[in-house]
Amino acid sequence: MSSPVSIQDGLFTTNTLASKKFLLVYILIIWGSLLPVLIEIFVFWTLIKDFILLFYYLFPLIICFGFLTLIITSTLLSKLGLIIIKNLHEPKQGKFRMERIDKDYYYWSLRAVVKKLPIWTANLIPSSFIHNLILKLLGIKTDYSNNISNGNIDTEFIELGSNISIGQGCSIRSSMIIKGHLIITKISIGDNVIIGSNSFIAPGTHIGSNTVLGAMSVTKINQNLESNTVYIGNPAEKLHYSPQNQTKIRKEMEFLNPSDKIYNPIPNDSEEKFVKNLPLNVLTFGIIYFLSNIIPILGTFYYFNEFILPIYLLKPTIIHVFIDLHTLLILLITPLFIIILLLVNLFVVILLTKLVYKISQYNNPAKEGIYHWSNKTPDFNNYFKRSFFLRYAKWKIQKSPFPWLMKPAFNFIGNCQFGKDSVIENCFIAKEFLKVGRNSYLGKALLANHLWDKNLTIKRIIIGDNVAISDNCCIAPGTEIENNVTILPLVVTSKNEKLSPNSTYNYNNNIGDNHTD
């Protein structure tokens, strides 16, 4: 089992925003992180400005150096911010209410915002070395021998040994949201540990050295996994190498053999399942891409020629940059100009996507239904058209440094509905036919409004108020989740399933209104 490509692996910090004022702190960190990059560009320009062609030849290398500088400076600024926050309120382990008046929840959210930029930049480079470096700078015990790029790892209350291998799509969560509460407990993982793909490590888990956790396994909160042992399952249990277990494992492996007839694909008609519409899709994408970038490109060209080049780059030395008030002002304003260009680019993408979506809705309104690819009705065809251009807007926002825009953007476009104070992590989320209530939490899960089997089922997902969906879950089309429901990791719903209010669901069944203690 692999994770959808829309879900980004790497270091993790929540998108939970206890106060919108935190965004001012985030903008300040971006501003401060870009200043050293601009100074670095000035130094490069000063050294080779007499060889202008050489500057352009080396420009890609300059960009690489600038990006690494951005990672380091943003991490150091975040580290400084975390030190200040620690003096204001010491990070604590425990169980806290998800309310602004709860200081532990409030400052947990603030710490996440402060760490957002270095984590965002580091995740653009799938390098375990970079990720381990960031964790070390943020105060996490780890080792450069750890292979951690494929997992989603919290960035506080984590202690890692050496030679750890983490499979794709794993979640290692020292913090977890259950039934309206935030649980924070330290995770420790020993040396030479292997964690299988799509597993979930719950808060408080201790894994001894030389231990293996099988794929798609889930630990319980505060569970202790012994050293030199293999654990599998949900919840994770010790694997005993008895003859009975060996026979059972052998039978399971035979059952999963791809040559088994039940896994052979069922012959079907040669009709293409998907509606590609390549010329129209490329044209739509090209228009949105071109128009959304033309303002930032023209703005950058104008700002560079009118301000950066004549006022900033042509100063003889770096000292003149700081002693000339006009030049210093340009240096200080430029990061804000870059932030504005990024936001303008996102805004135009959202605006154009809404326009195209409205046009498509006018010609053929979006409908739920069950379709077969041998009978490509207009509703079937238009679903793929809408999916194509909505995908770009979703990808653009989720992969941007401003993931909080997902809610207002999709509410504005009109394809989904998200209630006040709901949180969307970096998940594979339905691009339409999704309604989420107030104060709900969508973890790094998969919410699919369509499902292929014999037919294509397109059905709305409805999520009520105060719902928490944990990582690695899969919510199928037509699922209706009532208020005050908590869904624990690796839960999969079936089509048109209804989840009762005030309940907790785990991998095996509905476990009712259980406490999290």
| Of the candidates 12, 32, 292, the residue with the CA atom closest to the CA atom of residue 166 | 12
Q: Identify whether residues 259 and 292 lie together within a single domain.
A: no
Query: From the centroid of its chain, how far is CA 435?
Result: 20
- The pLDDT assigned to 263 comes to 41
Note the pLDDT tens digit of each residue in 330-379. Answer: 999 999 999 999 999 999 999 999 999 999 888 888 889 998 877 778 88
Share of the chain above pLDDT 70, in %: 90
Q: Identify whether residues 186 and 316 lie together within a single domain.
A: no
CATH code for position 304: 2.160.10.10
Residue 180 inside a domain? The answer is yes
Q: Among 209, 231, 263, where does a domain finish?
A: 263
Q: Identify whether residues 68 and 205 lie together within a single domain.
A: yes
The mean-pLDDT minimum among 115-129, 226-240, 259-273, 344-358 falls in 259-273
Q: Identify whether residues 199 and 322 lie together within a single domain.
A: no
CA distance to 125, 157, 402, per residue, from 9 (Å)? 11, 19, 17
pTM: 0.88
Q: Identify whether residues 299 and 373 lie together within a single domain.
A: yes
Q: Identify whether residues 186 and 234 lie together within a single domain.
A: yes
Q: Identify whether residues 304 and 186 lie together within a single domain.
A: no
Q: Identify whether residues 503 and 416 lie together within a single domain.
A: yes
Residues in the chain: 517
- The pLDDT assigned to 273 comes to 62
Q: Identify whether residues 221 and 333 lie together within a single domain.
A: no
Q: Identify whether residues 308 and 226 lie together within a single domain.
A: no
Residue 424 inside a domain? The answer is yes
Residues 415/406, Cβ–Cβ less than 8 Å:
no
DSSP secondary structure of 116-175? HHHHHHHHTS--HHHHHHHHHHTT-B--TT-B-TTSEE-SSSEEE-SS-EE-TT-EE-SE
What average pLDDT does the segment 487-508 reach?
Answer: 91
Note the pLDDT tens digit of each residue in 122-163. Answer: 998 888 899 999 999 998 999 999 998 888 999 999 999 999
Residue 101 inside a domain? The answer is yes
CA–CA distance, 317 with 21 (Å, rounded to integer): 38
Bridge partners of residue 182, in order along the sequence: 96, 177
**Residues of the domain holding 496:** 287-512
Q: What's the total number of domains in the chain?
A: 2
CA distance to 48, 51, 224, 304, 439, per residue, from 56 (Å)? 10, 9, 56, 15, 50
- pLDDT over 80 at 463, yes or no: yes
Helix (H) or strand (E) holding 185: none
Measured in degrees and rounded to the nearest 5, phi and psi for residue 152 equal: -110, 105
